């Protein structure tokens, strides 16, 4: 019996020795984590904050890889550079993935894809058109179709380039240097990257793979993780990571409430409306002191609007015109002159048109918003004008003129002065006649808080008699 027990114990120990490594390896395989960051729409401050927070979370959770899925028309260069800096500094490998089919990574998206450790695209997607957006003037490397331009070159070939052309060349060359440096860092096609900037070239997924712009084409994220399994990448700090992603658990990282809130208020139209609400709130509070609610709401909205504008590239001349328009409208509310009000509306609208100096998709101020804003301010001016007109046509209710013609009752009288009761108050009065207490008289004038009274004129009847 003892021999049988010893044999069973030995067998169980042997099984444990064989099974435990398998269980450990299975647990290790299941512990691999692939996190997904989804970038949809224009790239702005909210996107940069979202990517930064997500990469920090991936590092804290020791993720095997981060998949940066993109479908973007581009965005702000400042936000793009923040994302690139975070990707380059990440100790977790970042896989750029343009998906799903039909998506694109244009403009800023192309730069970010070049910065990722592994670049991939889904079939039916495209990337490129990474030329910095400029307003007016041709870009270097593009033909200039301005009428008469060739004639001007022949007549004066030594003419100096215009300031705008020089600024365009400066921005383009800076963008070329950035994307070439990223291509050299990741071993990708640097020549095509320069063409994407200078000539706004684009490529489909298969063409990008053949041109060595990307590393692979994958139909979905599961296939993507299978294809990158076993690859070796170099992360920040010079560390080398051997990817094991075939059986990695996938998890999406959603934007936090701060990123979601930032995305809402950094929309130029929302920021503009917040400023408008703030202005109206302050105007109502100043015109009706003690209301409290308009002042509190207006101050909060105005501060949020200014904070959003601070995060966006704005034209300070436009902002100055908006502030001038606000000032004139506030003055108009307290001292109606019509001229100041109309001037304020004009200054505000012109400032709104000039406010944003960018033409990137998703960061343009809507013309309907500007039109509605102008209509609301014009409505405010009309309300002020209507109140002014009614005040001028209505009876006078304050001052000496308002007292003239009113009835007053004699309280006491001595010789040419005494006291009367008028408008619910006791007044000192004087007159050229003698009156008796209780007699009703008429106020002829007011001098230094003293009423000048007289007898009420007799009413004349239609027959010529008196009543």
Q: Which range in 84-98, 367-381, 403-417 is most confidently predicted, on average pLDDT? A: 84-98
pLDDT at 400: 57
The pLDDT of residue 46 is above 80: yes
pLDDT at 50: 93
- The proportion of the chain whose per-residue pLDDT surpasses 90, expressed as a percent, equals 31
Token output for 344: 């304020």
Count of beta carbons in the 10 Å neighbourhood of residue 169: 16
Average pLDDT over residues 325-343: 75
| Higher-scoring residue by pLDDT: 152, 139 | 152
Helix residue ranges per DSSP H, 336-437: 339-354, 367-393, 399-403
Q: Which range in 63-67, 76-80, 232-236 is most confidently predicted, on average pLDDT? A: 63-67
Name the average pLDDT for the chain: 79
Q: Which range in 46-60, 301-315, 340-354 is most confidently predicted, on average pLDDT? A: 46-60
Q: Do domains 23-144+162-260 and 399-455 have the same CATH topology?
A: no
pLDDT at 119: 95
Distance CA 130, CA 62 (A): 33
Q: Which range in 98-112, 141-155, 232-246, 316-330 is most confidently predicted, on average pLDDT? A: 98-112
Distance CA 114, CA 155 (A): 43
Express each pLDDT in 94-150 by its tens digit: 999 999 999 999 989 999 999 999 999 999 999 988 887 643 333 333 344 334 444
The pLDDT of residue 87 is above 70: yes
Express each pLDDT in 190-202 by its tens digit: 999 999 999 989 9
With beta carbons less than 8 A apart as the criterion, state whether 56 and 85 touch.
Answer: no
pLDDT at 151: 42
The pLDDT of residue 156 is above 50: no
With beta carbons less than 8 A apart as the criterion, state whether 412 and 441 touch.
Answer: no
Of 416, 406, 411, nearest in space to 444 by CA: 406
Give the strand order in the sheet containing 126-128: 104-106, 126-128, 202-204
pLDDT at 90: 93
With beta carbons less than 8 A apart as the criterion, state whether 199 and 141 touch.
Answer: yes
Domain definitions of the chain by residue range: 23-144+162-260, 266-393, 399-455
Of 69, 110, 130, 141, nearest in space to 213 by CA: 110
Q: Dmax of the chain from CA atoms?
A: 148
- Tokens 């809402």 belong to 264
With beta carbons less than 8 A apart as the criterion, state whether 119 and 214 touch.
Answer: yes
First to last CA, the chain: 142
Q: Identify the DSSP state of 162.
A: P
Average pLDDT over residues 222-246: 90
CATH of 399-455, one of 3.40.190.10, 2.40.50.140, 3.40.50.2300, 3.30.420.40: 2.40.50.140
pLDDT at 393: 64
C-alpha separations of 410 from 8, 417, 419, 437 in Å: 126, 10, 6, 5
Q: Which range in 197-206, 284-293, 353-362 is most confidently predicted, on average pLDDT? A: 197-206
With beta carbons less than 8 A apart as the criterion, state whether 350 and 370 touch.
Answer: no
Count of beta carbons in the 10 Å neighbourhood of residue 116: 26
| Higher-scoring residue by pLDDT: 219, 26 | 219
pLDDT at 370: 77
Q: Residue 17: pLDDT band by 50, 70, 90 thresholds? A: low
Classify strands 65-71 and 94-98 as parallel, antiparallel or unpaired.
Answer: parallel
pLDDT at 202: 93
What string of DSSP letters covers 300-349? Answer: HHHHHHHHHHHTS-B-HHHHHHHHHHHHHHHHHHHS--SHHHHHHHHHHH
Q: Which range in 90-99, 366-375, 451-460 is most confidently predicted, on average pLDDT? A: 90-99
Token output for 367: 């013309």
pLDDT at 120: 95
Distance CA 109, CA 201 (A): 14
Q: Residue 282: pLDDT band by 50, 70, 90 thresholds? A: confident
Q: Residue 292: pLDDT band by 50, 70, 90 thresholds? A: confident
* DSSP β-bridge partners for residue 215: none
C-alpha separations of 370 from 171, 351, 377, 433, 440 in Å: 30, 10, 11, 67, 61
Q: Which range in 132-141, 270-279, 381-390, 392-401 is most confidently predicted, on average pLDDT? A: 270-279
Q: Residue 323: pLDDT band by 50, 70, 90 thresholds? A: confident
CATH of 23-144+162-260, one of 3.40.190.10, 3.90.226.10, 3.40.50.1260, 3.40.50.850: 3.90.226.10
Q: Residue 347: pLDDT band by 50, 70, 90 thresholds? A: confident
């Amino acid at each position: 019996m003892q021999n049988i027990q010893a044999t069973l114990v030995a067998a169980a120990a042997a099984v444990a020795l064989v099974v435990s490594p398998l269980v450990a390896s299975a647990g290790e395989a299941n512990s691999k984590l692939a996190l997904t960051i989804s970038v949809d729409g224009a790239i702005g401050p909210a996107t940069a904050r979202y990517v930064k927070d997500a990469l920090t979370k991936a590092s804290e959770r020791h993720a095997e890889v981060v998949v940066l899925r993109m479908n973007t028309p581009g965005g702000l260069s400042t936000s793009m550079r923040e994302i690139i800096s975070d990707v380059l500094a990440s100790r977790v490998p970042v896989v750029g993935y343009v998906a799903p089919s039909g998506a694109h990574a244009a403009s800023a998206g192309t730069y970010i894809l070049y910065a990722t450790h592994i670049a991939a695209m889904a079939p039916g997607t495209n990337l490129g058109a990474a030329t910095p957006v400029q307003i007016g003037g041709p870009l270097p490397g593009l033909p200039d179709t301005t009428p008469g331009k060739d004639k001007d070159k022949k007549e004066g070939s030594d003419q100096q380039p215009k300031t705008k052309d020089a600024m365009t060349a400066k921005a383009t060359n800076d963008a070329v240097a950035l994307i070439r440096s990223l291509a050299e860092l990741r071993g990708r096609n640097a020549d095509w990257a320069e063409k994407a900037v200078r000539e706004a070239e684009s490529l489909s997924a298969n063409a990008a793979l053949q041109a060595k712009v990307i590393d692979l084409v994958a139909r979905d994220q599961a296939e993507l993780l299978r294809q990158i399994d076993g690859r070796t990448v170099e992360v920040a700090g010079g560390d080398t990571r051997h990817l094991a992603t075939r059986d990695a658990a996938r998890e999406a990282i959603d934007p936090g409430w701060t990123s979601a809130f930032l995305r809402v208020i950094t929309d130029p139209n929302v920021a503009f409306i917040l400023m408008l609400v703030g202005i109206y709130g302050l105007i109502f509070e100043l015109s009706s002191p003690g209301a409290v609610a308009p002042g509190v709401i207006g101050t909060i909205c105005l501060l949020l609007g200014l904070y959003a504008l601070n995060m966006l590239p704005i034209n300070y001349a436009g902002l100055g015109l908006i502030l001038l328009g606000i000032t004139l409208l506030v003055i108009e509310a307290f001292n109606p002159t019509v001229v100041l009000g109309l001037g304020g509306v004009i200054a505000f609208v012109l400032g709104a048109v000039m406010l944003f100096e960018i033409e990137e998709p998703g960061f343009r101020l809507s013309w309907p918003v500007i039109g509605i804003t102008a209509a609301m301010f014009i409505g405010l001016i009309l309300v002020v004008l209507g109140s002014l007109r009614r005040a001028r046509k209505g009876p006078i209710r304050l001052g000496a003129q308002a007292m003239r013609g009113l009835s007053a009752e004699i309280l006491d009288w001595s010789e040419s002065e005494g006291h009367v009761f008028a408008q619910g108050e006791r007044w000192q009065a004087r007159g050229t006649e003698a009156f008796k207490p209780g007699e009703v008289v008429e106020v002829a004038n007011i001098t230094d808080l003293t009423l000048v009274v007289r007898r009420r004129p007799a009413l004349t009847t239609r027959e010529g008699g008196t009543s």
